[in-house]
């Protein structure tokens, strides 16, 4: 039910998917690998990675669970 677009606009503002704010001084953006989840999802992420190791970090989408892995610079 739209009334001059206001309810639809309010719904969009209420939910804005959070994206990965990658620290490119630590992680190589070209090393990204994706797996699992829904490739067509409008992914939403926590600020910190779900898995953090010495050589890589993984962020999982909070909606579909898709994993995004970034390697650290050598």
For 18-63, the pLDDT digits (tens) are 999 999 999 999 999 999 999 999 999 999 999 999 999 999 999 9
Please report whether residue 6 resides in a domain: no
Give pairs for 43-51: CB < 8 Å, separation 24+. Answer: 43/17, 43/19, 43/68, 44/17, 44/18, 45/18, 45/19, 45/20, 46/18, 47/18, 47/21
Please report whether residue 37 resides in a domain: yes
Please report whether residue 2 resides in a domain: no
Residue numbers of the domain that contains 49: 17-71
Give the pLDDT confidence of 2-13 residue by residue, as tens digits. Answer: 455 556 555 555
CB distance 64 to 21 below 8 Å: no
Domain count, the chain: 1
Tokens describing residue 38: 């829904």
- Rounded-to-integer distance, Cα 36 and Cα 26, Å: 24
Please report whether residue 11 resides in a domain: no
């Amino acid at each position: 039910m739209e009334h001059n677009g206001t309810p639809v606009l309010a719904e969009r503002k209420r939910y804005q998917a959070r994206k990965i704010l990658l620290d490119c001084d630590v992680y190589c953006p070209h090393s990204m690998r994706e797996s699992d989840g829904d490739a067509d999802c409008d992914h939403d992420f926590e600020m910190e990675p779900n898995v953090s190791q010495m050589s890589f970090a993984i962020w999982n989408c909070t909606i579909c669970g898709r994993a995004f892995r970034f390697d650290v610079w050598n």
